[in-house]
Chain A
Amino acid sequence: MTTLDTSLPRFSRRIFAVWNRNFLVWRKLAIPSVLGNLADPMIYLFGLGYGLGKLLPDVGGVSYIVFLAAGTVCASTMNAASFEALYSAFSRMHVQKTWEAILNAPIDLDDVVGGELLWCATKATLSGVAILVVVAALGLVPSPLALWALPAIFLIALTFSAMGLIVTALAPSYDFFMYYFTLLITPMTLLCGVFFPVDQLPATAQAIGQALPLTHAVALVRPLLLGQLPVAPLLNVAVLLLVALVSYWIALVLTRKRLLS
């Protein structure tokens, strides 16, 4: 029997029991985990921002490190969400069989995957916010408008967590994740305005970039960090939300097929 259960995701408060399990594990290693998540993006931000920034005129009307800060917040949120939804969720699902144990309790797979989505998004939000805090502490964020970046970061975290869960549902082993990073995450980082304004790119690349969710993440967060209103916030939010919902639904259908057949 190969019929797919394509019913829409069901949500219940039981997702918090799953979320809580992951939170308790994370809490044991919280400080190294946060520092680890901060170190890499910070090295890039300061290295490129101050090093390369010295050689550059203003980018997009601001100093390069200010320009780069918003890109780093978005890219780092994306990376943290992807790592958690791929490597960590896969460990829980496939290697440790944690999901299997949970499914023997009165918790449905929809609750498990929902809890994982919320957890991955939580952890990624923490990553993005941690960078935002450091950047603000350095005085690189001029306006309280930046507070609006917080819900934006959570939305970005949800979007990339949901996308990652699709890959996890399909993965035979950890090696599989390399394709996702090489073919999607890395190109996105270069095509979506993280390191430089997208108008530097050829028209085709710009068109591709427009279709990628990270573009909309950057379009939302960068103006907010510069104290400006985004140009098309509704469009950006709609795209991110749509990608999040559709991805989550696909991930759930694939996971149901993988674990419940």
Chain B
Amino acid sequence: MPSPLIVDQLRKSYGGREVVAGLSFALQRGECYGLLGPNGAGKTTTLRCCLGLTAPESGTITLLDEPVPARAREARIKVGVVPQFDNLDPDFSCAENILVYGRYFEMPSAAIRARIPALMEFAGLAGKENTNIKNLSGGMKRRLTLARALVNDPDLLVLDEPTTGLDPQARHLIWERLKRLIGEGKTILLTTHFMDEAERLCHRLAIMDDGRIVTEGTPRDLIGRHIEKEVVEVYGEGAPAWAAAEAGNFSRRCEVSGETAFCYVDDALPLLAHLAERPALRTLHRPANLEDVFLKLTGRELRD
């Protein structure tokens, strides 16, 4: 089956700065693909290019078999988009939001109305059809935006930081719904800078920095490829001095950030035994995760 989205050598600059610098990736049908990166890595710009909302300088994009931007509008007929910032219509109720949005897809009103109960149910908003948007919580708005993006029964769902700004309960609910969609066979493209989100949802992901893909693969694969198995975090006033003097004996790679030393090891036992004799240093032992890969590849310094 053809790929729902193929991006090849995409480039885009703003004011002389290359925001997307030769990006290539392709989605497989039915997978959830994540674009990860720090703020300013070019994630949102990449999505805008893919949807045909801005023209790239060079490179080709094929979205649901249509060339973008030339036939982006036609491609968007089978795409659903959840933008980074809520842009629900504040003058409408929940049901009206979905109804009006469906009309942009030239769907007959009766067909949209028939879909509204299922969409509201999916969003966990059953019974709130006539509620005004102003009376919804942040999580409810996000879910309604997701339901709105599904009004046209899209083949591809594009989500730009779907859970930014939500509390843990709201995030878990969104994840659960997205998993359900993946289970139904929808293809999903999402951007995020939450590693746990990517690890939970994405079949494959790409870590972006400075407009480029630094690495691509399954979450497990990336952790295996780029980082040691285990991490021992060492905290406390003496941690930086200890790291400078002794960490090298136990760990090939140890990064110090503030008063914490992150020791990456394949076998943590010798290090833990050593630390047990130094009660002034507090420790946290955990398996390596995607965040460790992300920080290794994109660095620890702030981006915005």
Contact = CB atoms under 8 A, between A and B. Distances in A.
A1 B57 CA distance: 8
B90 interface: yes
A207 B122 CA distance: 65
Q: Indicate the size class of the contact surface on chain B.
A: 20 to 34
Interface stretch (A96-104, A124-132, A197-205): A96-104
Contacts of B74: 106
A259 B55 CA distance: 11
Query: Per DSSP, are chain B's interface residues mostly helix, strand or loop, or mixed?
Result: loop
B162 to A, nearest CB: 14
Interface residues of A, number: 23
A132 B142 CA distance: 46
A108 B73 contact: yes
A98 B53 CA distance: 15
Given A1-B13, A1-B57, A24-B96, A107 B91 contact: no
B85 interface: yes
A104 B51 contact: yes
A24 B53 contact: no
Interface in B89-119: 89-92, 96, 100-101, 103-106
Between B14, B87, B104, the greatest number of chain A beta carbons within 10 A of the residue's beta carbon is seen for B104
A231 interface: no
A101 B83 contact: yes
B87 A98 contact: yes
Contacts of A97: 83, 85, 87
A183 interface: no
A31 interface: no
B77 interface: yes
B87 to A, nearest CB: 4
Interface in A217-261: 259-261
Interface string A84-112: 00000000000011101111111110000
B92 A24 contact: yes
Contacts of B106: 14, 17, 106
A104 B81 CA distance: 6
A17 B104 CA distance: 6
A20 interface: yes
B76 interface: yes
Interface of A: 1, 14, 17, 20-21, 24-25, 28, 96-98, 100-108, 259-261
14 contacts: A14-B104, A17-B104, A17-B106, A21-B103, A25-B89, A25-B91, A25-B92, A28-B91, A97-B87, A101-B88, A104-B79, A104-B83, A106-B73, A107-B73
